[in-house]
Amino acid sequence: MELRIRVLFTSVCHTDLIYWRGQDKAQRIYPRIFGHEASGVVESVGEGVDDLEIGDHVVPIFNGECGKCVYCKSKKKTNLCEKFRVNTMKSTMSSDGKCRFSTEEGKPIFHFLNTSTFTEYTVVDSACVVKIDREASLKKMSLLSCGVSMGVGAVWNTADVEEGSTVAVFGLGAVGLAVVEGARSKGASRIIGVDVNPHKSSKAQAIGITDFINPKDLDKPTHQRIREMTEGGVDYSFECAGNLDVLREAFLSTHDGWGLTVMLGVHPTQRLLPLHPMELFEGRRIVTSVFGDFKGKSQLPHFANQCIKGVVKLDEFITHEMPFSRINEAMQLLSDGASLRCLLHF
Ligand code: APR
Ligand code: ZN
Ligand code: ZN
């Protein structure tokens, strides 16, 4: 049930930086091939795979869909699969617990997020491979592997933002800007972008924020400012910074009674959620969204078509392009907050 994919485009996401650096001490699994945002072409097909062929244009997904387990069979309950759900601890293939990469001496090189795309060829279980229309630009489709699907899906599926809603987005990297794009496409009346990096404001405005807040410029907590601006708080807030203090600000910036906060950041910390249980009685809710609540194999092709049609615009997300050999530079650009997505090509 495995495929070998020739990776044509891949880009660095903040999650790669977190695990490459070993910020989560429990997960220092090396040597390991990182990377999970990519697109490419099927180069060979393993026994048992009947939905993909050599030459198919594909996008790997870190949150797979086997289609057979109780989770996959649940229509709307979850997009987590029993076997192929997002799991940063998993470092080998599901079928035999072994690696498909090795050093010249034959020592294993571990896998990452069911995908491992920082390599010219990768081997992925078919549950984690989505076929994409041949007409689509593979370069742009690589964005659907993670950031854009996460952000737009969090708005469309997880929060189901209605036209006219007010929204606050904390962290304006690729994930946060995908939330902005999703909110814009749904006709949100106000989209407040929050980032400590002042350079993030112009791009975010081009995509669709109506207001920008830099918490460093405020003499009060960000949530207070947002509540003042919106007569009590926004309808929806999204945390896309990977910081628990930011998550608390996002939580408190929604309107009591109905506010919903969606957490998208990855939090490499031992700390627990930064809220008191009694605060939930105020009627604010907090949820997370894995892969934008898309069931990857069955729902991503439709989402890809929406992107091709221009319902969701992808161009703004690719800020840099360079050959794969310059990957260190690409990682530095993301780490410095100087890029959204730097497309690496082989
Ligand atoms: N308040 C507001 N914004 C912040 C703060 C803060 N305290 N700290 C960081 N940010 C902003 C950064 O300035 C940056 O613009 O959050 C943004 C994060 O963007 P990227 O580093 O580009 O990360 P991205 O790839 O968008 O991922 C965002 O989602 O998938 C997860 O692991 C990923 O936690 C990360 C998050
Ligand atoms: Zn990612
Ligand atoms: Zn499954």
| Structure tokens, 241 | 């910074």
Whether residues 134 and 153 share a domain: the answer is no
Whether residues 208 and 274 share a domain: the answer is yes
Whether residues 162 and 266 share a domain: the answer is yes
Whether residues 134 and 156 share a domain: the answer is no
Ligand 1 within 6 A of CB of 337: yes
Catalytic residue among 99, 146, 240, 307: 146
- In a domain, residue 13? The reply is yes
- In a domain, residue 304? The reply is no
- In a domain, residue 229? The reply is yes
User: Would you place residue 165 in the very low, low, confident or very high pLDDT band (cuts 50, 70, 90)?
Assistant: very high
Whether residues 140 and 160 share a domain: the answer is no
Ligand nearest to the CA of 84: 3
Q: What is the CATH number of the domain that holds 10?
A: 3.90.180.10
Q: Note down the domain range covering 252.
A: 148-290
User: Would you place residue 268 in the very low, low, confident or very high pLDDT band (cuts 50, 70, 90)?
Assistant: confident
Give the pLDDT confidence score for residue 274 in this predicted structure: 93
| Structure tokens, 280 | 């939930």
Instruction: Decide if 69 is catalytic.
Output: yes
Whether residues 22 and 96 share a domain: the answer is yes
Instruction: Decide if 36 is catalytic.
Output: yes
Whether residues 250 and 322 share a domain: the answer is no
Catalytic residue among 2, 10, 14, 32: 14
Given a cut of 80, is residue 26 above it in pLDDT? Answer: no
Q: What is the CATH number of the domain that holds 244?
A: 3.40.50.720
Catalytic residue among 72, 99, 128, 307: 72
- In a domain, residue 297? The reply is no
Ligand 1 within 6 A of CB of 242: yes
Given a cut of 90, is residue 25 above it in pLDDT? Answer: no
Name the residue at shortest CA distance from atom 22 of ligand 1: 173
Instruction: Decide if 14 is catalytic.
Output: yes
Instruction: Decide if 85 is catalytic.
Output: yes
Given a cut of 80, is residue 251 above it in pLDDT? Answer: yes
Whether residues 195 and 326 share a domain: the answer is no
Whether residues 218 and 203 share a domain: the answer is yes
Can you tell me the mean pLDDT for 187-211?
Answer: 97
pLDDT digits (tens, 9 = 90+) for 132-157: 999 899 999 999 999 999 999 999 99
Whether residues 106 and 80 share a domain: the answer is yes
Given a cut of 80, is residue 321 above it in pLDDT? Answer: yes
User: Would you place residue 93 in the very low, low, confident or very high pLDDT band (cuts 50, 70, 90)?
Assistant: very high
Give the pLDDT confidence score for residue 125 in this predicted structure: 98
- In a domain, residue 298? The reply is no
Ligand 1 within 6 A of CB of 191: no
Measure 126 CA to ligand 3 centroid, in angstroms: 12
Catalytic residue among 32, 57, 85, 111: 85
Whether residues 35 and 81 share a domain: the answer is yes
| Structure tokens, 344 | 């690496």
Measure 51 CA to ligand 2 centroid, in angstroms: 25
- Write down the pTM of the prediction: 0.95
Whether residues 136 and 176 share a domain: the answer is no
- C-alpha 259/C-alpha 272 separation (Å) is 21
DSSP state string for 155-201: IIIII-PPTT-EEEEE--SHHHHHHHHHHHHTT-SEEEEE-S-TTHH
Ligand 1 within 6 A of CB of 241: yes
- In a domain, residue 169? The reply is yes
- In a domain, residue 299? The reply is no
Ligand nearest to the CA of 334: 1
Ligand 1 within 6 A of CB of 171: yes
Instruction: Decide if 72 is catalytic.
Output: yes
Measure 162 CA to ligand 3 centroid, in angstroms: 30
- In a domain, residue 308? The reply is no
- Give the number of domains in the chain: 2
Measure 11 CA to ligand 2 centroid, in angstroms: 9
Percent of the chain with pLDDT over 70: 100
Ligand nearest to the CA of 94: 3
Q: Which helix (H) or strand (E) holds 306?
A: helix 296-309
Give the pLDDT confidence score for residue 119 in this predicted structure: 98
Cβ neighbours for 57, distance < 8 A, ≥ 6 positions apart: 39, 40, 41, 131, 132, 133, 134, 136, 138, 141
